[in-house]
Amino acid sequence: MTFIIFTRIHSFSPALRELLVSGIVLPSTFFDTLYSLRQLRCLTVNQCVVPPPPNSPATALRLSHLTLAHLSPYSSETLPYSPYFTHLVPEIPNLLISEVTINSSIANSKCAPSNLTIGGGLPIVTPWLSHYFSCLNGFSLHNLRRLDIIIPRLYRPPSGFKCASCSVNMPTQSLPYLQAVTAPLFVLDHLISATSTLEHVSVQGPIPPRVAIRLVDRLSWTQKSMKSFAVATAVWDDDVLTRVTLKLPALERLEYIYCSDNLSPRSWVYLRDTCLPRLHQLTTLRLHRFPMSRRVCELRLSKNAERSLSDSQNANQNWKASAAVVQHLRQGVEDLSLKLPALISVCLPGDFESGKEWCKASNAPGTAQWSQVTHRLNVEWGCVRPLDDHLRIHPA
């Protein structure tokens, strides 16, 4: 059946722009078929057995978006080869690749993506950490503008603490255009030394407050124009946001998630009146508990999260802030917006747990400007990011 499909796919050649293949053994003519699809721009290959790709193609595939995940080579081939054919797209704008490729002979592919996502669910133990950097070393990074390393296991504290001080080999390439990074601290720590152009930083996995403060200091010393910053810590600590607002005053988006302790009314007054008003350009603010419950976390990250949020409200009572705290926070939104006129979106304790956030309507008068709406997980930035569906392993 697979052979028949690929022999007839040529009839779609004049118009076919997007192709997804999953869970099959690809025929030996697969790459000939790809080159015949002149208008193809988006290709996803997931959980497939892939034939040997051409070693030195005459021309590159004209793709703008390529996803390669959980691939295997033909078992009948005597010479080893990588089923991840990144060498066929030397200057791909968008590349998503599963971390399984780390051990798949991808080295020296000379692929130079502009936006690179590495994702999967391998255990976070020290021997694996160096493989993330080996994977990065397999690419040419001179065009890299965005790097996302998504490790869902880090959403289950205290997993994130184990990675802070690991010794690994960092890619020696410079990163002259890198603007946005979502990655665990052990990756981010090294990337900061290779660039001065970062604008958007999201730290995956909770870290100790003192480590977060050190990271903020490093970013302020080395990066020219930070616009968004997202971090999660083990416990709430006023000093983290004090340092953020003093060292990164040009932020437009700020997310601070904490794993234990509640944001007290006293802390909120300090933030509202002294700390946050330093961020004159702030448009988006998120302050809430880390999603400790695995069930809630899975709901927050699912594609149908909005329909499931009502089921998750009582999944973990430890999330709940006291009624007094919630009242203080909600009453303070309007007060905070008076000090921060650019603010348009706020998510606070009690709001996040109920699947809500505050949004400002520019055409509404006075306090009516602010209303609660369904919280939407932003897939572009933040400490808790969903793994792309095509990077997941799907059951047969």
Asked whether residue 99 is assigned to any structural domain, the reply reads no
User: How many structural domains comprise the chain?
Assistant: 2
What are the distances in angstroms from CA 55 to CA 6, 29, 60, 73, 81? 22, 15, 12, 15, 10
Q: Which domain holds residue 251?
A: 114-391
Decide if pLDDT at 378 tops 50.
yes
The CA-based angle 297-301-302, given to 5 degrees, is 115
How would residue 193 be classed by pLDDT, with cut points 50, 70 and 90?
Answer: confident
CA distance 91 to 78: 30
Decide if pLDDT at 120 tops 70.
no
Residues 70 and 196 both lie in one domain: no
Q: Rank 101-105, 159-163, 331-335, 362-366 by mean pLDDT and report only the highest.
A: 331-335
2-6, 91-95, 230-234, 281-285: which range is least confident on average? 2-6
Asked whether residue 103 is assigned to any structural domain, the reply reads no
Summarize the chain as % helix, strand, coil (round to 5). 35, 20, 45
Residues 63 and 120 both lie in one domain: no
The residue among 94, 122, 140 that closes a domain is 94
Residues 65 and 143 both lie in one domain: no
Over the stretch 163-189, which tens digit does the pLDDT of each residue have?
Answer: 444 455 555 678 899 999 999 888 888
Residues 71 and 175 both lie in one domain: no
The percentage of residues in the chain with a pLDDT greater than 90, rounded to a whole number, is 35
Which pLDDT score is estimated for 148? 92
The residue among 40, 64, 94 that closes a domain is 94
The pTM of the full predicted model, rounded to 2 decimals, is 0.84
Residues 70 and 190 both lie in one domain: no
Over the stretch 276-296, which tens digit does the pLDDT of each residue have?
Answer: 999 999 999 998 887 654 434
Q: What is the CATH number of the domain that holds 228?
A: 3.80.10
Residues 130 and 89 both lie in one domain: no
Residues 218 and 74 both lie in one domain: no
